[in-house]
A and B are shown apart, each in its own frame.
Chain A
Amino acid sequence: MGAHHLTPLPVRRSVRRLRWFKASFRDQVDKLSAATGVTFDIDDAKQGQSFLEWLRAFEAQKPDETDARRDYVGFAAGLMLQALVRGRPLTVRSLPPGADTSNPAYYWPEGYVFVAYCLNIRAAVLAQDFDEARDTAPAMDEIRSWWSFRENTDADPSLAIAFLDLFSGEDPDWTTPGVFAPERLKVDAPRFFRAAQIADAKGR
C-alpha cells in the first residue's frame, strides 16, 4: 500500500499508529474505488474510534510467547475487521451504473473494503515477518459467504474474526471467535479435557 512510506517501521508496528492507519485505509479505499467505480465517504472521527477500539483489543490479548506471534497476526487482523464492521467509518456515496450486486464488491462495498484492507495488512505482516505469501480463499468470491458475513456480523460483530479466517483460508473458530487461542493450544485443548475426564472417571 502506498501509505507505507509514512514511517520506516515494519507494517506490524506502523499499523499501531493512527496516522498510518488512516492514510493506508484511505489508500485502500481509493484503490478499490478506482477498480470498481464505487465512491465512498470516510468518517474521520469514526475511523479514529475504530482504530482505538482495535488497539485496545489488540493490546488486551497480545501473547507474550514468541511462538504464538504468527497466529496472532491473523487474529489481530480479525480484530481490526471486527472494529471496522462495528464502527462503520465508511459509507457508499454512489455505485456505478449497472453494478452487479451478485459481485461481493457491489453487494456490500463497505464490507468489501474492510475485508480487503484487513487481508492486505495481514498479508503484508506475514510476508515481512514470516516470509509467507498469502492468497485469498474461494469463499472470498462466493456471494453466499458474503450474505452470511453481512447478516451474521450485523448481529454479532465478533464473528468478523471468524469470517476473516474463512476468507483467508484458515480454520475459523465460530464458537468463541473473540478469544485468541494459538493453533498449539487448539491442538492441546482436547487432549487436556480428555485427560481431565479420565482423571475424573478414576477418581469416582
Chain B
Amino acid sequence: MRPTRRAPLPGEVTLPLKDALRGVRFALRTGRRQLDPLAGRVPIPLAGLAADVMGQVDQVAAGVEAFGSTTAHRFLDAPGAADGAPDLPQPDAGSGSAQRFAQTVYYGLSRALSRLGTEDALVSETLAAEAFRSVRDRTEPALVVEDYAAEIMRALLDRVVAGRPPGLTPAVPEDQGAIAVFAVTLWLLVERAGGAEDEDQLLDTCTDVARAQGRALTDALPDTAALSALLAACHRVI
C-alpha cells in the first residue's frame, strides 16, 4: 500500500517546534562545553564514563544540528523569493510571508551575531514571525520602505528575538542584539546587484556598517523616525 502523502505542517506549528529543537541543541552544546574540560581532570574510570556519555550527547546534538542547518539554508532557494535573495516582505504579503521572514531573520541574526563575536545565541523564529505579523497588521502598504523597516526592527527588538535562555549567563549584550537586528534589517533592504552576489558577504558587509554606527545607533533606537533616517543613510552606502 502506498503511504499517504502528508500535508506540510503550518508555520504556527513548525516555528515553535524549531525553536524548541534549537533550545535542545543549545542546551546540549552548552552542556558539552561545560563538561568537556573536566574530562581530562577526573579519575580514569570516570573519564571513560564521561567520554561515553559525551559521545551520546554529541550524536544527539549532531542530529538536531543537521535538521537546523538544512532548514536554515533552505529559504535562500525558496521559489517564492525573487532570484533567491531574501527581502523585506511587503505589508500586504501573503500568509506564508511571516514564516519565510522568520527563517530569513533566523539565518541573518545567527550569522550577524557570530560576526560580532556572540556565539550560541538562541534566535526565535516564532518571535520573529510574531514581530512581522504585528507590524503587518497595523501598517499601510504605502509606507516609505525605511519607515516600514524601522517598524519591523523595533518589533524584533521589543520581542528580544535573539537571546539566551534565562539563567544562562552572559546574556546576549543588548547593544550586540541591536547591532545584529539593524544589520539584518539593512540586509533585507539592500537591492541586489545581480545573481553573482554572495548573500553571506552582503550580510557581513551590513554587519560591519551596523557595528560602525556606534553611538548613532544607540541614540536612534528609541525613536522610529531616527531609526528610519539611519537605515536610509546606511542603505545609501552599501
Contact with A along B30-56 (1 / 0, CB 8 A): 000000000000000000000000000
Contact with A along B183-196 (1 / 0, CB 8 A): 00000000001100
Number of interface residues of A (CB under 8 A): 13
Q: Which residues of A contact B (CB under 8 A)?
A: 6-7, 16-19, 22, 44-45, 48-49, 52, 55
Q: Which residues of B contact A (CB under 8 A)?
A: 115, 193-194, 197, 201-202, 204-205, 208-209, 212, 236-238
Evaluate contact between B237 and A17: CB separation under 8 angstroms: yes
Known pairs A52-B208, A55-B237 / 12 extra A-B pairs, C-beta < 8 Å: A7-B193, A16-B236, A16-B237, A17-B237, A18-B205, A18-B208, A18-B209, A19-B197, A19-B238, A22-B201, A45-B115, A49-B212
Evaluate contact between A18 and B238: CB separation under 8 angstroms: yes
Evaluate contact between A6 and B205: CB separation under 8 angstroms: no
Tell me, in angstroms, the Cα distance from A18 to B235 when the chains sit together.
Answer: 10
Tell me, in angstroms, the Cα distance from A22 to B205 when the chains sit together.
Answer: 9
Q: Which of B115, B193, B212 contacts A19 (CB 8 A)?
A: B193
Question: Which chain B residues lie closer than 8 Å to A49 at the CB level?
Answer: 208, 212
Per CB-CB distance, the 6 closest pairs between chain A and chain B, nearest first, are: A48-B208, A52-B212, A6-B193, A18-B238, A18-B205, A18-B237
Question: Which chain B residues lie closer than 8 Å to A45 at the CB level?
Answer: 115, 204, 208
User: Smallest distance from the beta carbon of A44 to chain B beta carbons, Å?
Assistant: 6
- Decide yes or no: A48 and B193 within 8 Å by CB, A17-B237, A18-B237, A19-B238 being known contacts: no
Evaluate contact between B204 and A52: CB separation under 8 angstroms: no
User: Smallest distance from the beta carbon of B228 to chain A beta carbons, Å?
Assistant: 20
Q: Which residue of A lies closest to B197 (CB)?
A: A19
Question: Which chain A residues lie closer than 8 Å to B115 at the CB level?
Answer: 45
